[in-house]
Amino acid sequence: MTQRTAIITGGSSGIGLAIAQQLAQQDYRIAIVARDPQRLQQAARQIGPGTRHYAANLSRRGAVEEVAARLAEDLGTVDVVVNNAGFTRVIAADTPLAQAEREWDAVIEGNLKSTFLFTLAMLPHLRKPGGRIINLSSIAAQCGSGSPGALGYSAAKAGVQGFTLNLARELGPQGITVNAIAPGFIADTRFFGAGLPQDRIDAIAAETPLARTGRVEDVAAAALWLASEQASFITGTITSINGGARVG
């Protein structure tokens, strides 16, 4: 069989890197896209020989068009697109309006607009039928954040979920599946910079029915399944990877 190809945005660290590694272990050709060239090079070495890496700001249409053209030229038809790129900024109800607007625009562009632009740019190169689009949402889109400051992030990830559901309807007749993964708290990432204090991590674990925090491998396993042939009749879903946190 022809070797399958996967592109992972935000693939230089955390969840994106874990997804790329698991797909590579299943003999996918891997390309990762992110902003930092140095971290991309380091990640490509971790993923394995033959991993391609591309630096681009995916919230800018020109940059997206350029990297999509390079990907198409280098890889040809693509089987799986994983939209994982994103970040958060602190926007709370009491954030001064000018600052809140500035941070809001950055978060919406970095999480929602980037997913929208990159997906549409890669659609002409996605396998039909059989293509897979996997978007990364968040538990914050479903029930908000446990602490103030995630107004923009929650809204952006809720937008990702709406985009996923609508795109699944549009692309279903072409045999392309579109799904999202909504992780809960994943401890082993750089999402919170230096990380949360241990007492806060312990509190999150205590509030979770499975009594632990998530790991990047938990999310990567879900992405691996959604990318597989076994998930060919799964589309328009939001898969929650949170240890039952919304139940607890």
Of 153, 163, 185, 191, which residue is the catalytic one? 153
Distance CA 104, CA 107 (A): 5
Q: What is the pLDDT of residue 189?
A: 81
CA dihedral (189, 146, 163, 215) positive or negative: positive
Of 8-17, 83-92, 195-204, the one with minimum mean pLDDT is 195-204
- How far is Cα 226 from Cα 177, in angstroms, rounded to an integer? 9
Single-letter residue type at 67: V
Confidence bin at 183 (pLDDT 50/70/90) = very high
Residue 145, pLDDT score: 84
pTM over 0.85? The answer is yes
120 is a domain residue: yes
DSSP for 107-176, written as a single string:
HHIIIIIHHHHHHHHHGGGB-TTT-EEEEE--THHHH--SSSSBHHHHHHHHHHHHHHHHHHHHHGGGT-
> What is the pLDDT at residue 88?
92
Q: What is the mean pLDDT of the chain?
A: 94
Q: How many CB atoms lie within 10 A of CB 194?
A: 6
Specify the pLDDT at position 96: 98
For the stretch 10-31, pLDDT in tens is: 999 999 999 999 999 999 999 9
Tell me if the bond preceding 129 is cis, omega within 30° of 0: yes
Q: Is 246 contained in some domain?
A: no
Residue 247: which pLDDT band, with cuts at 50, 70 and 90? low
The answer on pLDDT for 208 being more than 60 is yes
Instruction: Give the domain CATH number at 137.
Output: 3.40.50.720
Residue 232 has pLDDT above 60, yes or no: yes
Q: What radius of gyration do the chain's Cα atoms show?
A: 17
* pLDDT at 246 (0 to 100): 77
Confidence (pLDDT) at 196 = 75
pLDDT, tens digit, 9 for 90 and up, residues 101-158 = 999 999 999 999 999 999 999 999 999 999 999 999 999 999 988 788 999 999 999 9
The verdict on residue 166 lying in a domain is: yes
Range of the domain at 218: 5-241
Number of domains in the chain: 1
The reply to whether 32 falls in a domain is: yes
pLDDT at 193: 56
Strand order in the sheet with 177-183: 52-55, 29-34, 5-9, 80-83, 132-136, 177-183, 238-241
* 54 included as an active-site residue: no
Q: What confidence score (pLDDT) does residue 172 get?
A: 98
Q: How many CA atoms lie within 13 A of 32 on its CB side?
A: 35
- Provide the 8-state DSSP code for 53: E
Q: Give a yes or no: residue 248 inside a domain.
A: no
Encoded amino acid at 204, one letter: I
Q: Is the confidence at residue 195, as pLDDT, over 80?
A: no
Banded model confidence at residue 191, pLDDT cuts 50, 70, 90: low
Please report whether residue 61 resides in a domain. Answer: yes
Residue 59 and residue 156: Cα distance in Å, rounded?
13
